[in-house]
Amino acid sequence: MSSFTEKFYQDFIEDDRWKFILNGLKITLIVTAFALIIGVAIGVVVGIIRCAHDQQSGKELTGIKKTALNILNALCHIYLTVIRGTPALVQLLIMYFVILVSAKSKVMVAVLTFGINSGAYVAEIIRGGIMSIDRGQMEAGRSLGLSYVQTMTKIILPQAFKASLPALVNELITLLKETSICGYIGLNELTRGGDIIRGTTFDALLPLLGVAVVYLAIVHLISYMFSFVERRLRKSDRH
């Protein structure tokens, strides 16, 4: 037992080594939060473009608008293929060593990489959500004289968002854990924090276990919070 206490002291208390964990967690949360914002923004736009293209093609759109939508859809398609077809780690390395090679902030590189990466997955989640809404909802809106955009924003998207929420929370959790690869570009996030302690004290078990527990706690907190949100959103489903 005394050896455990000793190791615990060595790993976390001595020289304030717990700060590696705490500061790492801060970086992890910052990267996750901003990447999430970028990801949702990209995802909603791309998801809607893809749906609009599928629903509108051959219908009322003509001329320049139709061409614009076709081009946008093609761009979205390329984006989705590239991002979903390559590992996030490779994207991170390319971003850091090639595209943003002169960037001063590693946090920014990570935020951009994960934002762009997550956007592709969010886009497909949103698209799935929109497609899960009965066609009659759009038809009813349009039959009343509402435009495509009005029906989309007032009727379809609120329902699609609700339907997508479990998958979006899942994406958020995945995103949070995936930021652990930022150590590859020397960003001192949570996982690397634990790893630095391991490298200093030569004890692997406690630092890594500590890191794992922190991830678990955060993920648990996220699912707990969103279960409340889901319950609130479900109020229109009660019978």
Partner 1 sequence: MIGIRDLKKNFGDNEILRGISYDIEKGEKIAVIGPSGSGKSTFLRCINLLETPTSGQIFFKGEEITSPDVDVNRIRSHMGMVFQHFNLFNNLTIMDNITLAPVTLKLQTAEEAKENALSLLERVNLTDKADAYPSQLSGGQKQRIAIVRSLAMNPEVMLFDEPTSALDPEMVGEVLEVIRELAESGMTLVIVTHEMGFAREVANKVLFVDEGIIKEENDPLSFFNDPKDDRLKEFLSKVL
**Under 8 Å between Cβ of 111 and 31:** yes
Closest contact distance (angstroms) between CB of 86 and partner 1 is 37
Q: Judged by CB under 8 A, which of 142, 177, 201, 223 binds partner 1?
A: 142
Q: Judged by CB under 8 A, which of 155, 167, 196, 204 binds partner 1?
A: 155
Task: Name the residue type at position 148.
Answer: Y
144 vs 140: CA distance, rounded Å: 6
**Under 8 Å between Cβ of 32 and 215:** no
Residue carrying the six token digits 């004290």 = 201
11 vs 234: CA distance, rounded Å: 46
Q: Judged by CB under 8 A, which of 144, 202, 228, 231 binds partner 1?
A: 144
Q: In this complex, which beta carbon is closest to partner 1, that of residue 89 or of residue 165?
A: 165
Closest contact distance (angstroms) between CB of 196 and partner 1 is 49
Q: Is 137 in the site for partner 1 (CB under 8 A)?
A: yes
**Under 8 Å between Cβ of 236 and 158:** no
Closest contact distance (angstroms) between CB of 68 and partner 1 is 18
Identify the CA nearest to 55 among candidates 113, 126, 138, 128. 138
Q: Which one of 104-112, 119-127, 136-144, 197-205 is the stretch in contact with partner 1 (CB under 8 A)?
A: 136-144
Q: Judged by CB under 8 A, which of 2, 3, 59, 224 binds partner 1?
A: 59
Q: In this complex, which beta carbon is closest to partner 1, that of residue 15 or of residue 134?
A: 134
**Where on the chain is the footprint of partner 1 (CB under 8 A)?**
59-60, 62, 134, 136-137, 139-147, 150, 154-155, 158-159, 162, 235-239
